Structure 1
C-alpha cells in the first residue's frame, strides 16, 4: 500500500453507483472528494463513514455542475484540499425519458449539461493537476451511446457525445493523462428521484430487461467500481477506450 494516498474526485458520489465507486477507491487507498448537488445528507454521511475508516481521507463538496462558476469552484476546492488530483470520475448524470414530441429546451440543457458539458469543462479545469500527477479520467458512458434507447433521444445523444469526449480527451491529454470510459448496462434500476418520475420500472418491465441480458441477471454497483479500479491501476497502456460492463446486453440491442 502506498504511503501517500492518491486523490480522487467522484462526481455524483453521494449514493448509488457513485457512492460504491467512492468506497472502492477509498479501500484502494485513495482520498476522496465526494461531489454532490442535492444529496447533502447522503454525501456528508458517506464522508463521515470514510473518515471513520481513515482519518482526514474524505470531504464532501456541493456544486451544480450546470453552473460554470460552481463547477470551476469545485475543481479549485477539490485540488487544493490535498494539493492535487490523481483521478477524476465523471459519474454525475441526469437520466429520464424525453419523448420527441414533448422534449423541451430545459431537458436538452439538463441532459447535455450533466452528461457531456460538465465532464468536458471539469476535465479542462483539472487538466493541469492531472497532468502533474500523471493521472486518469474515467467517464461513465452508457451502452445506449451506440444504439439509442427509445423515448430517451436527448440522453442517448448526450451519452454518444460522452463517448467521443473520452476519445478526444485521450488524444488531447496524452501522454501524461489517460482517459477511458465505462459503459454500464442494467446495474441499478432507476429510482425516480428527480423531476421525471415516469422513469421507474414495473416488475414486468424489469423482467423484460433481464430476459434480454445474456448473463440473465442485473449487474451490481461494485461491478462498475471494480472496472474503474482496473482501468486506473492495472491498465497503464490503455487510453481512449470504453469498457462495456453490461452482462452482454449490448449484444442483443
Structure 2
C-alpha cells in the first residue's frame, strides 16, 4: 500500500536542493510520538541491522534549478508518494496529515489535498517495466588498516548490484513474513544502455554533524522479474538500501 499526497501553495514552491531529509522529518513528525521514536531509534531488527520499512519518492513534479540562489523551483502544486508494507505507518500518517491539513516544508506552508491511498499491484505475470521515483542504491563498506572507512557504490550493470539488491530483499522478507524461505532472487535489467548510464546517475550529499556522506544512486527505467510475492514486497518497501532516507521507491512504467 502507498499514499499519494498532493501539496498546494499560492506561489511557486522554492526548496533547497537537498530536501529529502526534510521530507523524512515530516514523516516522523506525523506519526504518534512513541511510535516515531521507536521507528527512528529501534525499527525492525534483522541481526545487527535495523530497518524502518518505509520509503518515499522525490517530488513528483518537474522543477527547475535557480543557479543564482542555488534552489529548486517547483509549480504551485506538487505530489509525493510514501510506501510501506507496515499498515499502521501509512494509516497513522494519512490520519494525522489529513487532520492537520497542511505541512511546513523547508519553511513553506503547503496545503494538503485529499490523500489517495493506492493498493499494491498483483504482479501475477512475475515481471514488469518500472520507473524509479527515487534513486536506487547499493554499496559495500570497507575499512583500511587504520580503520578509515571506504564505501564502494555499484551501478546497475555490475553483478554485485543485483546480488546486493537480493541480499537486502531477503532480509526484508524475513522481517515481514517471519520466515527464512526466501522464494527466489529477482532480476533487474536497465532499459538504457551502459553508454548512457551516467544520464541516470544521481549524486546525493548528506551532512550529519561534521561527517559528509556521498551517495551514488540510479534513476531511470528497468525491467524487473521475480516471484510475484517478492515483487509485491519490493514495491511496498523499496529496492536497495537507505529506503527510509528517500531511496529506492518505484512505480509501474506507464504504457
Name the TM-score, length of structure 2 as normaliser. Answer: 0.26
Which protein is richer in strand relative to its size?
A: 2
Which protein is richer in helix relative to its size?
A: 1
Name the TM-score, length of structure 1 as normaliser. Answer: 0.26
